[in-house]
Structure 1
């Protein structure tokens, strides 16, 4: 017979084994919770998220099957997202030709098993797989699958946020649920909560992605509509501008003073509309990726000087002095002359229009691998709160209305896109409202 000491030692060893096992289980479940938390903070769509989750749980806890379904309340159906299984289960499923990965569980409210899970958020517990998939797979096949993969207990937990059921997680075990340690049971409850939060965030992310795609499509349709409408408007405006110009030039006879000014108004208005339409067309080309650039070698100083000369008439009509200064240098760049002409014209035109009285100074210089244009005015200036969004679409100076400047707020946005397409930079400087402003463009000089 065993002595008292031997029996006592045996009891101690049993207790140590029990505590070591409990410690191992705790370490394993804590590690699992940490892994699930790391997965939960990732930005993934529901299918990808579920795949990571079920694989992690199955590998860590050795369950025969782990599966996640989403609940579609409108159709009262559980849609499968992802499954992970043991080798036993996989072998049995293949041999029995049993595939439920793509099979939805429908009419859950009419199911005695799923009704309390979906409606009341209770945990489902069964020793028969046929209670879960009896409508989708025949009972005999399910029983063989259960026997061959050694499934003893199947648990189904609702994944819910507050009163809203997002889906369920199915756990198939090769032992009785009651044989699990209390810590294991608590761990399962804990990771169910983590999964529910992660799934809710993932579904929201998917909905946002879908909404963004829809908005992008609508924005593309809007852009294409603006492009078509602008093209349709340009032809009659060209005719209006052309005929009014011919009338002003006396092609149809000399005009009386009484009629001359209205015709001049028609010509000026049609010119403004042509400019606006060209802005809209440029926007559509940029947003649809259809803006074309024809790069050639050109002299930046000569191009800038030509634009300044072209703008002298507008400056005189406004009572603004337009000055031009160029320092020595090569000024050779590789650029699209039409696009750079448009950028310079826009900046000088804006400077003239936003300067009620005073001067606009245009300076170009060449050095340190770049050519630089600076357009400085003594006009209305730029408030600090406007500066950060100045080159965005439809942004205009706060004083634009006061000086009767009708613009679209697209010119600077288009200019920025064109400059950046040339690998250049454009920015503005101003000490504030009423203190004038300076717009600066830098473009890379051609090497050699």
Structure 2
């Protein structure tokens, strides 16, 4: 067996050497003639088909392999037959053996041919024809070698090369497209050009964990968009693709056990291929390809080609999505800037909000003042009902209550003023090292009496710790408020605990009670300035209601933090920290809001900067150029950008080229640069004799370079150039393709950076506007302080009278007549103070929108008559007549109590400022409205004081007897609020010493 194999090898070697060495034909024939036994062994041993023909193309000898290849069983079926009948099937023509040529030239010849005598499958043979002399004359020996596999491989290679060239063209087209819808159509067109019948693109919706159909070659857009496949189903093909990140090839779908998979259901094809679209190990979607033709099964080679295509598709789609998101973000940013502009305008409305804050402060003061003032009123009235004589114990107790409540009212005012100073930043810290244990003990001692009254225990265990640098008085004041609240809102028999937690960085102080707690919804509002929680009233405590706001401002001044934890119905714990290395800062609430707004805008800018990377634009461009140098293989890379005037380009960054910022290129005058920019793709350029171009682009005279315009939205924004100065390497097509990808990335980054610069400019402009708004707010803060001074002055005047006269009565040195006069004064002042506080409270509620309107159908004529009936005694005292004239008017839908209050104010002022004459009231029908005129013959109003009439901050100084009529000065602002809350209008006309007419208009419905 071994000898036979050796012989076969030796014969094959012999034949191949005969051809390769092109031996002399005569010597070869002589060798075969002398060695007939060798010829016999050739036919018996060699595995390839061999046969011998004579000059007439008749087969005279053949081996068994020849019989097999032509499908014959016996040698008798072959010997003596014409070879052209077996192969070509045409008489006198045999392309295989070339007998005539070989015998004529006596030289060996090689031919290649195909035939399919039995299987009908095309078979390729390479046949060596040798001249030979036998006992039957000059013949030809033919040796057949099967080269079908080699031929198939050559054809497959050629098809693969053609596909790769086509793939390159398709990819180049895709990378020049930034619009997603256009790109998707190009992808499908590319699939069809590559020879595949059907394709579908899916993208992952990460928010909903779904794979969504985007576009398909043979499905309607609505059908493909209805495809939504969950990606968290572990048994599905989609989940497998996402997990393994490898393509799945199914040559025959019908043989697949999981043919009911959701992804497979979307195809009725024979073969199926799914490829993940991957960017930096992250899958953004899938590309599926399938064929319906049963004879066109998808192969491994198809999969390899499509894997290359899928990589380019993923890059192109990701780039288009980034640009689309950038455009969306740009639009959203514009909307945000527009909203910020509206917010800035709203800062002007902040002027009104500050005014509202002041009125809410008044409301807060009024809430706390009403209780003590009611006591003053009650006890002074009680004194007036008795006869004169030595004061009884009950009377003395009543006057003591008057003194106590008056003092408490002063405390309320003082707290409000202190909070106002803290908020405005007028209070500065006086820092000194202090023993916190002693500070806490001092605050506890101030409240021991109050705690004992409610049977509440205060627990505090001093802790050894270093002294803390603080403002002792202010921290003591803060602790006083916290401990006082803990007692005030505690349960009888409960406890209050003060705890210290010290560490090297800060000290924490906590005040814990066993009281009624705070509802969760109100915890966020507990420290709000100038606002009072309703719970403060319903929890049963008394006080200013601004204590916690004062505590927070004190802690903020110490750059500390304060918070509260509470369990409703069980307990509350207030904690605050003071840093050991305290750095005192002074910042008003408005400045804090301004800083926060700027910080939000800066955050928006930061988000834009890190869309592609978290570094600055120039550093990002340098990184891209360095990547081109490292990964693409260029020695030097340079980037230029078009200037704003679009006629010049300037160097920005470069690798291997110094002083890039000094390079300037004129686009108009340079036809070379114009040609580069108009090409809109990467090309290699040779300009050996153009010195200007070589100088501008920083290249050597004989050095080729590659240039690529930077394009965004079909607009050229710059140029990228590269060369191989040092290595002299050849610039390949692969270099151009890679450079194109990096250039497109650089273009998007540059456009993104320019957007950021534009936004930064807008942020600066908005910041400037915010600073200007802040200045206006500071001015309003000054006005607020002036108004607080006004309120304090107005309240203190009657209080001083109350306290003074009550002390005189308590002193026992007054006669009965003097006592009676003093008590009358107390009653008058208390009544006036109550009306004044009511006015403050009403105005504050109206401006804060806390007054509910109860509109109902009302007879306005009867309402006016009712007011005039009540006001008649006041007019009679001054000998004034009041006349009413009216049209016939039906029912009007109004809040009768509010309109009655407005009429009281208007008629009351008319009586108050009229010494003689009359008051005329008119009720007129004005179609959809009614008009009321109140005209007097009083002292009138000077024109320079017109603007003060409805201003709650101004009072008109009149001359004469009526110049100092007592009251809050808020009657007209309240009246204006009432009329405007009915969607009405109020105005007046006046002349000095002749009288004034106030008119208001109200809708009937």
TM-score normalised by structure 2 residue count: 0.25
Cα drift, residue 275 of structure 1: 1.9
Instruction: Report what 1:286 is aligned to.
Output: 846
Report whether the alignment pairs 1:437 with 2:996: yes
- 1:129-144 superposed matches below 5 A: 133=619, 143-144=626-627
Q: Which moved more, 1:403-412 or 1:288-297?
A: 403-412
Contact 1:395 1:410 (C-alpha < 8 Å) held by counterparts? no
Instruction: Report what 1:351 is aligned to.
Output: 910
Report whether the alignment pairs 1:204 with 2:768: yes
User: Structure 1 pair 348/153, CA: closer, same or farther in 2 (3 Å)?
Assistant: same
Contact 1:372 1:442 (C-alpha < 8 Å) held by counterparts? yes
**1:58-90 CA-partner distances (Å, limit 9, x unpaired):** xxxxxxxxxxxxxx9xxxxxx6874999xxxx9
Instruction: Report what 2:613 is aligned to.
Output: 98
**Could you tell me which of 313, 320, 323 is aligned with 2:882?**
323
Larger radius of gyration: 2
In structure 2, the residue corresponding to 1:279 is in which secondary structure?
Answer: helix
Contact 1:311 1:349 (C-alpha < 8 Å) held by counterparts? yes
Query: 1: CA distance between counterparts of 2:955 and 2:784?
Result: 24
Query: 2: CA distance between counterparts of 1:320 and 1:266?
Result: 29
Cα drift, residue 345 of structure 1: 0.3
User: Structure 1 pair 416/211, CA: closer, same or farther in 2 (3 Å)?
Assistant: same
Contact 2:605 2:759 (C-alpha < 8 Å) held by counterparts? no
**1:350-371 CA-partner distances (Å, limit 9, x unpaired):** 1111123332223323352322
Instruction: Report what 1:152 is aligned to.
Output: 639
Cα drift, residue 262 of structure 1: 3.6
Instruction: Report what 2:863 is aligned to.
Output: 303
Cα drift, residue 348 of structure 1: 1.0
**1:240-295 CA-partner distances (Å, limit 9, x unpaired):** 9xxx9xxxxxxxxxx97654444333333222222211121122112322121111
Cα drift, residue 377 of structure 1: 1.2
User: Structure 1 pair 178/404, CA: closer, same or farther in 2 (3 Å)?
Assistant: same
In structure 1, the residue corresponding to 2:664 is in which secondary structure?
Answer: helix
User: Structure 1 pair 404/210, CA: closer, same or farther in 2 (3 Å)?
Assistant: closer
List runs of 5+ in structure 2 lacking aligned partners: 1-333, 345-594, 596-601, 632-636, 643-650, 655-659, 669-757, 807-814
Report whether the alignment pairs 1:384 with 2:943: yes
Contact 2:855 2:896 (C-alpha < 8 Å) held by counterparts? yes
TM-score normalised by structure 1 residue count: 0.51
Query: 2: CA distance between counterparts of 1:269 and 1:205?
Result: 49
In structure 1, the residue corresponding to 2:857 is in which secondary structure?
Answer: strand
Query: 2: CA distance between counterparts of 1:381 and 1:343?
Result: 19
User: Structure 1 pair 221/267, CA: closer, same or farther in 2 (3 Å)?
Assistant: same
- 1:36-435 superposed matches below 5 A: 82=605, 98-100=613-615, 133=619, 143-144=626-627, 152=639, 177-180=663-666, 201-210=765-774, 259-317=819-877, 319-399=878-958, 403-430=963-990, 432-435=991-994
Query: 2: CA distance between counterparts of 1:146 and 1:418?
Result: 77
Instruction: Report what 2:65 is aligned to.
Output: none
User: Structure 1 pair 436/221, CA: closer, same or farther in 2 (3 Å)?
Assistant: closer
Query: 2: CA distance between counterparts of 1:428 and 1:310?
Result: 24
Cα drift, residue 372 of structure 1: 2.4
List runs of 5+ in structure 1 lacking aligned partners: 1-38, 50-71, 73-78, 104-128, 156-170, 183-193, 245-254
Query: 2: CA distance between counterparts of 1:414 and 1:321?
Result: 25
Query: 2: CA distance between counterparts of 1:356 and 1:145?
Result: 96
Contact 1:223 1:284 (C-alpha < 8 Å) held by counterparts? no
In structure 1, the residue corresponding to 2:614 is in which secondary structure?
Answer: coil
User: Structure 1 pair 422/195, CA: closer, same or farther in 2 (3 Å)?
Assistant: closer
User: Structure 1 pair 223/282, CA: closer, same or farther in 2 (3 Å)?
Assistant: farther
User: Structure 1 pair 219/264, CA: closer, same or farther in 2 (3 Å)?
Assistant: same
In structure 1, the residue corresponding to 2:923 is in which secondary structure?
Answer: strand
